[in-house]
Amino acid sequence: MKNSAQHQSWTINVGFGLATAALAIAIVFALTALVTPFAQAQTFTVLHSFTGGGDGAHPVGTLTIEGGGSLYGTTSWGGMNNCTPWYECGTVFKLSHRNANWILQTLYTFDPTTGQDGYGPAGQLARDSSGILYGTTDSGGKKGWGSVFELKPSPTRPVSVIAPWTEIRLHDFASSGDGAEPYNGDLLLDSAGNLYGTTFSGGKYEAGTVYKMTPSNGGWTYVVLYSFSGGNNGANPVAGVVLDAAGNLYGTTYDGGYYGEGVVYQVTPSGAETVLYNFTGGNDGSLSYAGVIFDQSGNLFGATAFGGSGGAGVVFELSPGSGGWSYKEIYPLPGNGWGAYERLVMDGGGNLYGTLFEGTYSGYGSVFKLTPSNGGWTYTSLHDFTDGDDGANPYGGLVLDSNGNLYGTTEAGGAFGYGAVFEITP
């Protein structure tokens, strides 16, 4: 049985920096007292700086936003009790906007000491209409290669706002033939309630998989749709997948392909793979950690982490046609390398937004916008991180709310050096 103390939730009032009385852990939160604005066009605000304590440390996944504006995310390290900032436990958290303040609640802390629980969640969570969250851990689980989990609130009204949520492991990865290490771990939830994801390694050829999980008779059925061979068809997908109306899945691999620099691929519902593009490692970029997104016309947009004439990867477009898919460079990303690690997001006007992990010349990453203009694209840096209170090194991507506000996380920096959640307003 899991240590209930290890998995209790906690709540933080970021606006006033006071820990709830029920926790009696007033330590560290006085330092998070203010929601800190920064000078760049008065649009950038830190919503929470992770302390390395019960709220976790080092968030690397993209946030999930619900209709009411609450944000859900994960940290890969830290958590309650013995989970220090240097101990890979990890948490699931919720940030709620109440009046002028943001309240952080830790919903769950992973416990690697049990030998059963997964640990190190890194990907974007999926959330269904009933409020249940789905995610992955990069490591741990019953078989040691990571897990898929479900997290839901108590079915009865809790006696306290810090009541823990319940975690159920839906699948334990077993490596050979099955998949292992969902390194990024982004999950896709379709309208029928099926889950789709990728693993970095494992599978038939130990080069990663695309998988599907289907709810069935109160449980879940796990199926590997495709195993990458490590050859020309690609290897080691880091990013998750997107789905078209016909049920085809699209994504990228970090490695493999004709030039060994990764590919953009399609996997059909029956499990057949087609390589849509092979990165060469030249001006078209290389090593795509980030996945792809669709626009309203069915074109795919993505980014690479390296290569390109700008030094920090390339934003690209793939357009379908009668002869296959055609590649077009949108913009070479500037900086010292280590560019986009997560997929882009597009607003209703066709503008693209993304993050650079170390890109730009500060070396601490940035948030950027690409605006279509006269047949080309205009690049704007919305914020360059300083490794101060504003954070550093945004590994995760961005999410947009209905008002056009952007939300994201940094892996490092912030008031305590363990990462931050930020908002950029139009």
Helix (H) or strand (E) holding 212: strand 209-216
Q: Alpha-carbon distance 279 to 291, whole Å?
A: 14
- Within 8 A by CB and 6+ apart from 231, the residues are 256
Q: Alpha-carbon distance 110 to 104, whole Å?
A: 17
- How many secondary structure helices (H) and strands (E) does the chain include? 0, 32
- Within 8 A by CB and 6+ apart from 219, the residues are none
Q: Which residues of the chain have pLDDT under 50?
A: 1-10, 12-40, 159
- Domain ranges in the chain are 10-424
With residues binned 3-state (H G I as helix, E B as strand, rest as coil), the percentages for the chain, rounded to 5, are 0, 45, 50
pLDDT at res. 162: 58
What are the pLDDT digits (tens) for 253-302? 999 999 999 999 999 999 999 999 999 999 999 999 999 999 999 999 99
Phi/psi at 382 (5° precision): -80, -30
Q: Alpha-carbon distance 358 to 412, whole Å?
A: 11
Q: Are 287 and 299 in contact (CB under 8 A)?
A: no
CA distances from 128 to 62, 189, 279 (A): 17, 8, 35
What are the pLDDT digits (tens) for 66-115? 988 999 999 999 998 778 777 789 999 999 988 888 999 999 999 888 77
Which residue, 90, 20, 23, 81, is CA-closest to 50? 90
Q: What percent of the chain has pLDDT over 70?
A: 88
Which residue, 7, 135, 10, is CA-closest to 62? 135
pLDDT at res. 161: 54
pLDDT at res. 164: 73
pLDDT at res. 157: 60
Task: Give me the helices (H) in 220-351, please.
Answer: none
The angle formed by the CA atoms of residues 421, 145 and 355, to the nearest 5 degrees, is 25
What are the pLDDT digits (tens) for 232-249? 999 999 999 999 999 999
- The CATH architecture annotation of domain 10-424 reads 7 Propeller (2.130)
Which residue, 56, 220, 247, is CA-closest to 132? 220
Report residue 209 CA to chain centroid gap.
18
Q: Alpha-carbon distance 253 to 338, whole Å?
A: 16
Could you tell me the sign of the dihedral formed by the alpha carbons of 169, 151, 410, 6, in that order?
A: negative
Q: Are 255 and 291 in contact (CB under 8 A)?
A: no
